[in-house]
Amino acid sequence: MWTVGILLLLLIGRLFYLQVLNGDTYKADVSDSDTSTETTNVQRGMIYDSTGKVLVGNAAHQAITYTRGSTDTSAEIYRTANILGKYLNLSVSTLTKRNKIDYYLVPTSHQKKVLAQIPGHKGMSESKQSNEEIKYLENHPGFIKLTSRQKIKAMIYADMSSTTSLETTYIKETGVTSKEIAEVGEHLNQMTGIKVGTSWTRNYPQGKAIASLTGTVSNSKTGLPSDSVNELLSEGYSRNDSVGISYLEQEYQSTLAGTKKETEVSSSGNSNSVQKAVTKYEGKKGDNLVLTINSKFQNKVQSILKSDYEAYGSKSHSTGAYIVVMNPNTGAIYAMGGLDRNTSTGKITNDQIGSINHSIVMGSVVKGATVMGALMKGVITPSNNTLYDQPIKIAGTPSKSSWWNTSGKVAITAEEALEVSSNSYMMQLAMKEGNFTYSSGAALTMKKSIFTKLRNVFNQFGLGVKTGIDLPGETTGYTGPTNVIGKALDLSYGNYDSYTVMQLAQYASTIANGGYRMKPYIVKEIRGTNKNGSLGPVESTTQPTVLNTINANQSDWNVVRQGMYMVVHGSSPYKTGSALEDLSPAVAAKTGTAETFAGTTSTLTHSLIMFGPYKNPKVVVAIAVPGADTNSSSIAVTVGHDVYQAFWKYVEAKNN
């Protein structure tokens, strides 16, 4: 028993020592120490083409970083910025007036100088004084006179101050010289939170032209984009994080970003120095995207589009040219090409993404959908579809006719109407669907519901609705008003509403595959990274998605497909696709010419959809060239011919 008693006395004595004699000291030690988690960015995932070539990679750079301590004060940050500013050269182009004011007002001596200029400042609260100091300096910018070196220090101070506790930012992300590395490294022990680290920027091994499709990434200076800053902050990003700000980089930001490294940091509050740093999580490099695009073919498509377009003489009002090459059975995009032309200067720039956000009045390429709508509604049938191509004369409006028949009356079938691109035939189909019996010179008394009838069918093919492609910024096109009933006739042959080239590709694919509107996609797989840095295992694969099915009979599809085949291989001297007749495997196509205006100048849009091989389609090509001169021939056909041949050389031959 006496042993237990002795142990109890010892325990009571120890507790008395800890809690009574030294309790305050230990409480102070606990409050002065801090254990927190510091986060560090990791390398961004890369983007590969369908053959495994790197389209978008990462270039490593030596960088100067700052990690803000949990108790760093403005004075401590100011001190570090002034030391670091002796050794670094930085651009100060983004240094603002407020940045200069914040830097200048850190020392108490500067605050007193400014307060001396403010009447009645002695009776103000500290916060009121601070506001008045800022207001005074904003109104008297000449009061602050910074040397070029001080401006660099002010820039560094602004970057450091904007960093949240225990997060790392880049003070100088690229272009750090060996001299700067040496000098900063020599004085690291004088600068709290400063380190020599590594940063990454995007590079483009297959050429930078692909960046107009893959998108761009912000840097630590530009930080989070203003239009999504709150959303990204709620997801755990910091204001100075690098994020995707356009196209694939933006759409797949969470995939490409990876997971930040986490380090548990124990520090002393008195000295604000790190006592212990333990890596809790190494971080995970961003996952990689593997695209459906073949980089060789993509570059060839862009090259063909540019060379054919530049060689094309009649484009004084043209605003560009766009092309999409797509797998009609899966929705996979083989290539997207695009050119933007400044009509004032004539300068041409890459604009691949224009295929999803430029709305264009396409012309006669839509006529396959018009014919299919009439077949589905029963106003014509596969065996009874002969009408007269003739000028359409509606009371109070100019006569409208087909390009090849401005005065006669010629009996043609639905297939022949597609072959020779009959505007008259399409207008008569619209009138039949609108329950209007045409009589030359009579007033058009159709109901406005005809617009809905025509557009509902167009939408089923993908015209006038978003395609669903995995890229941000897709537009639906433009739907014209319904207050003038005669515009329904223009709609029937493609001279009213506007669509994107991606919509044309989806529409053509729906015809090629027999009625399945496929969702286009550009990312084939998401894959990890092996330890040696190579492309790692597949984490997810995009599956083909059918958005809707057009419930038409096979005999109806035969009419439309045969008509498109006759556009290229028919016997009429007026067929519009004869320049594609030499292609092998054989193709079906529909050309288009829309009458448009550049201001008051009459222009044309040349368009084309085509698929091949005709009996077992593997590829669809859709092209539009808006703003061509009215005396020009179709550049779309020239581009389509060259791109189709390139597909069999660069894509299908490799697949086989």
Residue 337 has pLDDT above 70, yes or no: yes
The answer on 402 and 509 residing in a single domain is yes
Q: Which of 199, 364, 607, 634 is catalytic?
A: 364
pLDDT at residue 225 in the model: 78
pLDDT in tens, 559-577: 999 999 999 999 999 999 9
Residue 270 vs residue 349, higher pLDDT: 349
**pLDDT > 90? residue 240:** no
Residues 133, 254, single domain; the answer is: no
CATH number at residue 362: 3.40.710.10
Contact yes or no for 467/510 (Cβ under 8 A): no
The string of DSSP letters for 100-152 reads HHHHHTSSHHHHHHHHTTSTTGGGS-HHHHHHHHHHHHHH-GGG----HHHHH
Residues 304 and 369 in one domain: yes
* Higher pLDDT, residue 2 or 529: 529
| Alpha carbon distance 487, 490 (integer Å) | 5
Which span out of 121-125, 316-320, 616-620, 651-655 was modeled with the highest average pLDDT? 616-620
Q: What is the pLDDT of residues 282-307, one digit of tens each?
A: 668 899 999 999 999 999 999 999 99
Average pLDDT rounded to a whole number, residues 140-169: 90
Which DSSP string corresponds to 428-441?
A: HHHHHHTT----TT
| Strand order through the sheet with 333-341 | 348-350, 333-341, 320-326, 619-629, 601-612, 588-598
* Choice among 103-112, 399-408, 465-474, 508-517 with the minimum mean pLDDT: 399-408
At 386 the pLDDT is 97
DSSP states of 488-526 as a string? HHHHHTTSSSBB-HHHHHHHHHHHHTTSEEEPPBSEEEE
Position 7 scores a pLDDT of: 59
Distances (CA, A) of 272 to 17, 26, 34, 159, 165: 29, 18, 9, 20, 13
In a domain, 563, yes or no: yes
Domain that includes residue 113, residue range = 73-164
Q: How many structural domains compose the chain?
A: 3
Q: Is residue 608 part of a domain?
A: yes
pLDDT, averaged across the chain: 89
- Are the beta carbons of 198 and 283 closer than 8 angstroms? no
Residue ending a domain, choose from 291, 318, 345? 291
Q: What is the mean pLDDT of residues 49-74?
A: 91
Please report which confidence band the pLDDT of residue 271 belongs to, taking 50, 70 and 90 as the band edges: very low
Q: Is residue 104 in some structural domain? A: yes
Structure tokens at 161: 């101050």
Q: What pLDDT shows up at residue 633?
A: 72
Residues 301 and 282 in one domain: no
Encoded tokens for 418 = 């597609």
- Please report, for the domain that includes residue 272, its CATH number: 3.90.1310.10
Longest dimension (CA), the chain: 128
Sole residue written with tokens 């403005």: 74
Of the CA atoms within 13 Å of residue 412, those in its CB half-sphere come to 28
Let me know if residue 322 belongs to a domain: yes
Residue 278 region by backbone torsions, left for phi larger than 0, else alpha for psi between -120 and 50, else beta: beta
Q: Indicate which CATH number applies to the domain containing 93.
A: 1.10.10.1230
pTM above 0.75, yes or no: yes
Confirm whether 434 is domain-assigned. yes
Q: What is the pLDDT of residues 361-386, one digit of tens each?
A: 999 999 999 999 999 999 999 999 99
The per-residue pLDDT for 317 is: 86
Single-letter amino acid, residue 74: S
* Cβ neighbours for 196, distance < 8 A, ≥ 6 positions apart: 62, 63, 64, 65, 181, 184, 185, 188
Q: Establish whether 364 is a catalytic residue.
A: yes
Q: Which of 237, 265, 291 is the last residue of a domain?
A: 291
Instruction: Examine the domain organization and report whether 481 and 582 are in the same domain.
Output: yes
Whether 1 shows a pLDDT value over 60: the answer reads no
227 lies in the same domain as 326? no
Give the pLDDT confidence score for residue 6 in this predicted structure.
Answer: 62
The answer to the question of residue 4 being in a domain is no
Specify the pLDDT at position 597: 84
Residues 234 and 371 in one domain: no
Helices (H), 358-409: 367-377
**438, part of any domain:** yes
CA distances from 100 to 150, 156, 173, 422 (A): 9, 11, 22, 69
User: Within this chain, do residues 224 and 126 fall inside the same structural domain, yes or no?
Assistant: no
**Domain endpoint, select from 249, 267, 291:** 291
SS3 of the chain: helix, strand, coil, percent, to 5: 40, 25, 40
388 and 312 share one domain: yes
Identify whether residues 56 and 134 lie together within a single domain.
Answer: no
| Mean pLDDT across 520-530 | 96
Q: What pLDDT, on the 0 to 100 scale, is given for residue 209?
A: 85
- Clarify whether residues 90 and 41 are in a common domain: no
Q: Across residues 105-125, what is the average pLDDT?
A: 91
Question: How do residues 12-56 score in pLDDT, each as one tens digit?
Answer: 666 555 555 555 554 544 444 556 666 667 889 999 999 999 999
DSSP per position, 546-562: EEEE----HHHHHHHHH
| Same domain assignment for residues 261 and 311 | no
On the question of pLDDT at 640 being above 70, the answer is yes
CB 621 within 8 A of CB 638: no
In a domain, 178, yes or no: no
Q: For residues 609 and 503, what is the distance between their CA atoms, to the nearest angstrom?
A: 11
**The predicted structure's pLDDT at residue 31:** 46
Average pLDDT over residues 162-170: 82
At 602 the pLDDT is 87
Average pLDDT over residues 238-256: 88
Of residues 357, 368, 337, 421, the one with CA closest to residue 623: 337
